[in-house]
Amino acid sequence: MSETTGKKILLASPRGYCAGVDRAVDAVEKALDLYGPPIYVRKEIVHNRYVVETLSERGAVFVDKTDEVPEGARVVFSAHGVSPAVRSEATARNLSTIDATCPLVSKVHKEAIRFAKNDYDIILVGHQGHEEVEGTQGEAPEHIQVVGTPQEVDQVQVRDPDRVVWLSQTTLSVDETKETVARLRQRFPNLIDPPSDDICYATQNRQEVVKRIAPNVDVMIVVGSANSSNSVRLVEVALDAGAPAAHRIDKASELDADWLADAHCVGVTSGASVPEILVRDVIKKLQGLGYPQVEEVKTRTETITFQLPRNLRTKLQNAGKTGAGAKRVPGPDHTC
């Protein structure tokens, strides 16, 4: 019997690009087509090294701060969102802005603004220093405290324990967030929930399928960058759900054959900012290492799409460019 007989890959579905990432990448590509380079992008448009590198090759210029953008130039705000202070800086520098903030992040901003107006203390469950958290906190810094882990709940101080609401970053672990919120509720029994889930559909769906696969694999491979919150969470979720080992890699060349020693079944998934081309490369490499069979495990079909930012859409329509308001047409590099 061949050594590879019965060895297989369980491929998660859904995986990879979510609607917000798809829209943000499309916005930069369309802006490059419409205006030509350079198009400045504040922060990484999405947290994926390959995407940033390929867009840079096409003329996107990634900067960390608004004041690195030349006066009067055009800048795209990333999918993670920005605070009002960043918008004001852009106005002061006379920048033309294209706002690629994911609509599901904007939803959390609006919740924060509303609860702050009503003078609630807001506990934002999320990772301090993450761009999305900085953007949301910037909407009402005097009302918002960031809590990263269940243990940090003990340090929270509020003015009135009966006027406390929790909101969250969109890309957290669903289970860990439940734990943090349970702890918050122990301290503040009248804690108010967000009007709807802040952890977005894409994060939840990618974690759900990983939980399904994890107990059946010997090792889980998560394709995604180190600064991608939802990719890092997928590694944790896989381990919590029973995968004996789980590794995050940016690309196929980082796959270490030693991880596969004695592995009969390898799970593969990818974070919400990962183009499918990177997953295809990983599958190819695994097949070369003796895993010929690929079985897709599908727990959901995703149909959500978001329109391009309004001002870009209008410009594209006025310029007679196709696809301005339509569903994204997959590009050869970024999607399957």
Active site residue ranges:
132
Q: For the CB of residue 37, give the shortest distance to ligand SF4 in the complex, in Å.
A: 24
Helix axes 201-213 and 174-187, enclosed angle (nearest 10): 110
Take residue 96 and report the two structure tokens written for it. Answer: 């033309």
Is 170 annotated to bind a ligand? Reply is yes
Quick one: 168 or 180, whose CB is closer to ligand SF4? 168
Residues 124 and 136: their CA atoms lie apart, in Å, by: 9
Q: Choose the binding region for ligand SF4 from 114-122, 134-142, 199-207, 318-326 (rule: CB under 6 A).
A: 199-207
Tell me: is residue 247 an annotated ligand-binding position: no
Q: How far is the CB of 234 from ligand SF4 (least distance, A)?
A: 12
- 127 known ligand binder: no
* 48 vs 230 by CB, closer to ligand SF4: 230
Q: How far is the CB of 15 from ligand SF4 (least distance, A)?
A: 12
User: Which residues in the 213-232 window bind ligand SF4 by CB under 6 A?
Assistant: 230
What would you report as the CA-atom Rg of the chain, rounded to the nearest whole angstrom? 21
Number of residues that bind ligand SF4 (CB under 6 A): 15
Task: Retrieve residue 177's tokens.
Answer: 């967030």
Q: How many CA atoms lie within 13 A of 322 on its CB side?
A: 1
Residue 172 contacts ligand SF4 per CB under 6 A:
no
- Is 336 annotated as a binding-site member? no
Instruction: Take residue 218 and report the two structure tokens written for it.
Output: 């010997």
Cβ-based neighbours of 173, under 8 Å, separated by 6 or more: 207, 233, 236, 237
Show contacts with ligand SF4 in window 11-70 (CB under 6 A): 18-21
Nearer to ligand SF4, 16 or 148 (CB): 16
Name the phi and psi angles at 233, rounded to 5: -60, -35
**CB 105 within 8 Å of CB 79:** yes
Which residue number has the CB closest to ligand SF4? Answer: 20
CB 139 within 8 A of CB 167: no
- Which residues contact ligand SF4 (rule: CB under 6 A)? 18-21, 79, 102, 104-105, 170-171, 200, 202-203, 230, 272
